[in-house]
Amino acid sequence: MKKILTILLLSLCLNSFGQLKEPIKVISIYSGSIILNAIGDGLNDSGNKTWGHTCNAASIGLLVSTPIVFKNVTKENWYHYPIIYGALRFSMFDYSYNMIRGLPFDYMGITAPTDRIFNKAPAGYMRFMKGISFTVGIVAPITKLK
pLDDT at 122: 84
pLDDT at 112: 82
pLDDT at 4: 66
Contacts of 118 (CB under 8 A, 6+ apart): 108, 125, 126
Question: Domain containing 75: what range?
Answer: 2-144
pLDDT at 110: 86
- Count of structural domains, the chain: 1
Cα–Cα dist 93/76, whole Å: 28
Q: What is the mean pLDDT of each run of 10 residues along the chain (146 residues)?
A: 61 57 90 95 92 94 88 87 95 92 88 85 87 94 85
Q: For residue 42, how far is the Cα from the chain centroid?
A: 14
